[in-house]
Amino acid sequence: MRPRFLATALLAVLAAAPLSAQLAVRADTVYTMAGPPIINGVILIGHRGKIESVGPAARVRIPRGVRVVSGKIATPGLIDAHSVVGLAGARNQPHDQDQLETSDPIQPELRAVDAYDAREVLVEWVRTFGITTLHTGHGPGALMSGQTMVVKTRGGTVAEAMVDSATMVAMTLGPSVSSRFSGKAPGTRAKGIAMLRGTFIKAAEYARKREDPDSGKRLARDLRLEAVARVLDRSVPALITAHRISEIQAALRLQREFGFRLVLDGASESYEVMEEIKAAGVPVILHPTMIRNDGETNSATFETAARLHAAGIPVALQSGYEGYVPKTRVVLFEAAIAAANGLSREAALATITSSAAEIIGQGQRLGSLEVGKDGDVVLFDGDPFEYTTHVCTVVIEGQVVSEHCR
């Protein structure tokens, strides 16, 4: 046994030298999300975790000695386009709920990086179902609740997990804000918008005065206005949670007034205002397909993702925020219900891979299986969306992070 092992190791070194692949992934069908599915496909991932080669097995030679993992279906690592996992923990006790600070309705200076627990059990939970990337951070519930970031679902620290530390500023319109700041402003929808407009105007003034060539007149740094100014100068998009028609229209109106990059979030009544959303060129990170449809989301449907997609609006799915159980949803399951309700299988996959990557600003690095992109791959033992299919292998940047079928 031992000499044979040594020989294998030696061979591996020899074979690996020129190609440097660390892992080969084989699948009967590879959904690259960048072209038609590849039958009997192979993905080679290099030592730096990037994809070196993708194609049919007949054309992509697996170097000897490279570890091979295989399955029926391969997809890119799944992306949860909006989560609070890592800031919100499973225990649901005050000490593990950091997704919403209620001391003030406008606090865009709060950074996700300062509150992310990379070892939270929910991170591992979603990873075992193929989620390799989370756009997570401050949740809905405040006019400006804070910043979001993009992480991989691995690593023992936020630094090890980090992909992008300041991705968007999370904002919320509507009565869910009023209920959390009861007795304080905003008490109405219109008041909330007035407060946001006031904040944007202040931040624009701040940015102008920070630039003043006369250093005597230059304003002192203000973290809050600095964060808003980064939205105004289009460095980071505003992620606005808006469910009702009037809230969605208010978000579009704010965007027209201040010219920032807008991503609509939640958007359960979006199917009633698709023309306006499309005309504004705004993507939607839609509520979880299985969201409870009462209260503010009483218009939610299983078919909204399909309708937005058919209208040509870029759409991603999210796990969203849950106050009780399940403490997080699993976007794979949410996309499955969308696939069963009018969205094609590949369009449904896009809502948790390529389209999600584009919307969170990671289209160059994540979301499809292409040479040069991150080697994040999920292997299934059947149709990814079937209830009875299992996620069997999860790979992040060439490392197998989960290999129990579940």
Interacting residue with other proteins among 43, 336, 349, 401 (CB under 8 A): 336
341 interacts with other proteins by CB under 8 A: yes
Please report, in angstroms and rounded to a whole number, the separation of the first and last CA atoms in the chain: 32
> What is the rounded CA–CA span in Å between residue 41 and residue 59?
9
Contact 112, 148 (CB under 8 A): yes
249 interacts with other proteins by CB under 8 A: no
Buried b (16+ CB within 10 A) or exposed e, 82-121: bbbbbbbbbeeeeebbbbbeeeebbbbbbbbeebbbbebe
- At 400, is the secondary structure helix, strand, or coil? strand
Interacting residue with other proteins among 62, 115, 126, 357 (CB under 8 A): 126
Stretch that binds other proteins, among 7-15, 54-62, 278-286, 334-342 (CB under 8 A): 334-342
Contact 318, 78 (CB under 8 A): no
Which of 153, 151, 143, 145 is closest to 167 using CA atoms?
151
Q: CB-side exposure of 10: number of CA atoms within 13 Å?
A: 6
Between 230 and 287, CB nearer to other proteins: 287
198 interacts with other proteins by CB under 8 A: no
Stretch that binds other proteins, among 144-152, 213-221, 338-346, 350-358 (CB under 8 A): 338-346
Interacting residue with other proteins among 280, 290, 371, 400 (CB under 8 A): 290
Residues between 78 and 107 with contacts to other proteins, criterion CB under 8 A: 89-93
Who's near 128: CB < 8 A, 6+ residues apart?
A: 391, 394, 402, 404, 406
Stretch that binds other proteins, among 189-197, 227-235, 297-305, 396-404 (CB under 8 A): 297-305
Between 54 and 330, CB nearer to other proteins: 330
385 interacts with other proteins by CB under 8 A: yes
159 interacts with other proteins by CB under 8 A: no
The structure tokens listed for 234 are 């289009």
Who's near 3: CB < 8 A, 6+ residues apart?
A: none
Stretch that binds other proteins, among 34-42, 47-55, 248-256, 388-396 (CB under 8 A): 388-396
38-46 sheet: strands from edge to edge? 51-56, 38-46, 21-30, 67-76, 377-380, 391-396, 399-402
18 interacts with other proteins by CB under 8 A: no
Stretch that binds other proteins, among 26-34, 57-65, 161-169, 317-325 (CB under 8 A): 317-325
Residues in contact with other proteins by CB under 8 A are: 89-93, 121-122, 125-126, 269, 272, 290, 292-296, 298-303, 322-330, 333, 336-337, 339-341, 385-390, 406
